[in-house]
Amino acid sequence: MAQRANKGTSFRSWAGLPYDLLNMISKRLSLVDYLAFGGVCSSWRSSSVAQRAVVLASQPPLLVLVSVYAKRGCFFFDISDGGTYKAMLPNVHGRSFWGFSCGYLIMRDKKFKIWLVNLITRKELDFPTLPELYTGYITPDFRPVLAYSTALSEFVLVVAHRFFPLLHFCRFGDENWTVYRFVDEPWMIVDLAVFYGKIYFLTNRGRIGIFKMSPHPTLTLLTVKGSPNYLSCSLQLVISDGQLFMVDVCNVSMVYKLDQSETEMEWMKMESLGEKALFLNYTQSAIINNPSVWGGQSNSIYYTVFNQCYTYSIDDRDRQSFPFIQGNRVGYLRPFFWFFPHLSHDENLLDDM
């Protein structure tokens, strides 16, 4: 609604800006500014929602920094400009950070009750308490994955433990977890991922398979050529541009891509990432396209150790470090995991259970 100042100058309401102009503005914002942009008014929020996939795809990874005294949130460190931003989150006090899946921050309390919040939409999900069997284990030992079942029209959370032959899964709204035991298998599940509508699992021996929850829980190993003769509990699955990769968080030279044809599958060792960069972390890893867009290095691997972030150039076989936080915050902030904005728009859709 137009307003008129004393000197006869007309001012137009910010809420009445043209939709095309709002879309143009939202595409140029950082993640923090984009989130604030959507909270101004209903028309600005409508624009931010419409441009969400485009904006999130252009954002650099953020380091999640957690204080040992955290009660109301965490910090995000932007590696592209060195900025640090505080995120206020509800129900943080007394909870431990598990990581991210399907755009949701996953946390658990001391009794292992699971709570999730989407950092973009702020939607919250609660899941029941996990069995006491897991008490005392640290965060990287757990491999949670959140997926949306199109058959059930509901979220499903699946949790693996790297040192127990068990899988727990629960549909949002259920009061109890379903437990599946695979004690007769000579391997453990070290990671889970949703790939082309199915839940894939990765073993500590570098084998992959598919987990189905219904009509009866089953684990089916896939026949894949070129599986490395490798034993590790730090293996992870990474999905990028519709392709499946296998990496080792503790070994920067261990990067494989799954080559698929109509008749067979084969792991191919990657000697170069091309115009991509790999971000490693015990909680979640990801491969990023064109990191040079925000000032990053292509064909490189990013990882954190204590208060340092390292960049390993595959071309030069050279490692460089830079401090990710400055000033007096070093003493009580530590890196916990990467947050990948471009994955926050991925719904992890399951074709069937």
Predicted confidence pLDDT, tens digits, the chain (353 residues) = 444 445 545 556 777 788 788 888 877 887 778 777 877 888 888 888 888 888 888 889 988 877 655 567 778 888 888 888 877 777 777 777 777 888 888 888 877 889 998 888 888 999 999 876 665 555 668 899 999 998 888 999 999 988 889 999 999 999 999 999 999 999 999 999 999 999 999 999 999 999 999 889 999 999 999 988 889 999 999 999 999 999 999 998 899 999 998 889 999 999 999 999 999 988 889 999 999 988 899 999 999 876 678 899 999 989 988 765 554 454 456 666 888 988 877 778 888 76
Of 259, 159, 231, 256, nearest to 199 (Cα)? 159
Residues 211 and 203 sit within 8 Å (Cβ to Cβ): no
From residue 233, give the alpha-carbon distance in Å to each of 106, 138, 219.
21, 14, 19
Sheet containing strand 349-350, edge to edge, reads 178-181, 166-171, 154-161, 142-149, 349-350
pLDDT attached to residue 282: 86
Dist CA 329 CA 67 (whole Å): 9
For residue 305, CA distances in Å to 64, 98, 321 come to 13, 18, 10
Cβ-Cβ contacts under 8 Å for 169 (sequence gap 6 or more): 156, 157, 158, 159, 177, 178, 180, 213, 217
Domains in the chain, please, with CATH?
1-58 (no CATH), 59-350 (2.130.10)
DSSP assignment, residue 132? Answer: G
- pTM comes to 0.87
Residues forming a β-bridge with 129: 113
